[in-house]
Amino acid sequence: MARATARHILVATEAKCNELKAEIEGGADFAEVAKKNSTCPSSRDGGNLGSFGPGQMVKEFDTVVFSAPVNTVQGPVKTQFGYHLLEVTSRQD
């Protein structure tokens, strides 16, 4: 079965999400940006979500996590929780 590890940043608006993505693409550390900005409890661990399989996260997450290139920031991804930046850190298909 497929498994992935990922980290994310959760914010309330698409504009904030795009602003943070630009910071990261400009060289800011993903984990530091997550600690300072993410509203998810995972922010304490740099946005780390650990390891999970298909169907364990919301559908919008699954779609990105099990198809996006590894180590590339994806987003904004809208879910019922808000807007996310996602980075798949490893995946076994």
Alpha carbons 83 and 76: distance in angstroms, whole number? 6
**pLDDT tens per residue, range 28-85:** 999 999 999 999 999 999 999 999 999 999 999 999 999 999 999 999 999 999 999 9
pLDDT for position 39: 98
Is pLDDT above 90 for 93?
A: no
pLDDT of residue 19: 98
pLDDT of 6 strictly over 90: yes
Inform me whether the pLDDT recorded for 1 exceeds 90.
no
- Please report the sign of the dihedral spanned by the C-alpha atoms of residue 88, residue 52, residue 59, residue 8: negative
